[in-house]
Amino acid sequence: MNEEGRGPSAESLLALIGEHRESIRAALDDEQHALLLTRLNALAEAPPDKDMAVRRALQGVRLALRPLPFDHPVRAALDGVRLVAAPPGPATVSEALALIDLLTAAAPVPEPLDPAAADLLLREPTLSATEATARCGGTPPPELIRLPDPPHGDRYLRFQFPEGDGNPHEVVLKVNRLLLADIDPRGAASWWLGDNTWLGGTPASLLGQLSNNELVCAATALVEGE
């Protein structure tokens, strides 16, 4: 607990990651560890005087650590960090820089992306950038899951839009903001397209069957560790 009894601060969480870096590396696979480094880099590059940017980047780090076993010291502390109760400050950015050096010195940096996994996502129904722009009536919002497809241009997962015509589902945009889809589109896509025991199916397939509130609550539970 911090001095106000509100749970660990952002800086103490980063220090804990550094302290347990070897067991973290052992617990995460190559892709998960690469994602953690990517999220830490995003935190290190966040403008220190932009509180919301730092908060969003820290939230990305927390999400990248969620695959850790529940009995891991960092995983246990993770749920105690709340971005409102223990807000990050400018020191969080400098701490992230130091932590990256520590983690990359401990082990070789794996490739951040798995092309085969990316190809699997592109097998899902998608819209082209032109189609998405037409559906949105202009540049698609950054919250939409956008996947790079070098031979054909960017693709947008089709489930984000209603059948037929119309703008993106509002609940998709809201959930994608929680899941930081603009920073980690593959992670957000995995949530929408993966089985969810809380909801009883894949969230994407349940659009229109469950209430928007149920979908938002399920995503919030993931983000906040409930």
The pLDDT of residue 8: 56
Helix (H) or strand (E) holding 8: none
Say how many CA atoms lie within 13 Å of 126 toward its Cβ. 22
**DSSP at 210:** B
Distance (Å, rounded) from C-alpha 9 to C-alpha 105? Answer: 25
Distance (Å, rounded) from C-alpha 94 to C-alpha 99? Answer: 9
The pLDDT of residue 105: 66
Terminal-residue alpha carbon distance, the chain: 18
Distance of CA 24 to the CA centre of its chain: 18
CB distance 55 to 88 below 8 Å: yes
Predicted confidence pLDDT, tens digits, the chain (226 residues): 444 434 457 777 888 888 888 888 888 887 778 888 888 888 788 777 777 777 777 778 888 887 888 788 888 777 655 544 445 566 677 777 677 777 776 444 444 444 444 556 767 888 999 999 999 999 999 899 988 877 778 889 999 999 888 899 999 999 998 888 887 788 788 889 888 878 888 899 999 898 999 999 888 877 765 4
Q: Which amino acid is at 6?
A: R
Q: Which amino acid is at 154?
A: D
Distance (Å, rounded) from C-alpha 176 to C-alpha 168? Answer: 11
Query: Where are the extended beta strands (E) located within 79-206?
Result: 126-128, 146-147, 155-157
The pLDDT of residue 174: 92
The pLDDT of residue 26: 86
pTM of structure: 0.59
Distance (Å, rounded) from C-alpha 137 to C-alpha 131? Answer: 10
At what angle are helices 115-122 and 185-193 packed, to 10 degrees? 50
CA torsion sign for 76, 77, 82, 88 is: negative
The pLDDT of residue 171: 94
The pLDDT of residue 112: 44
CB distance 57 to 43 below 8 Å: yes
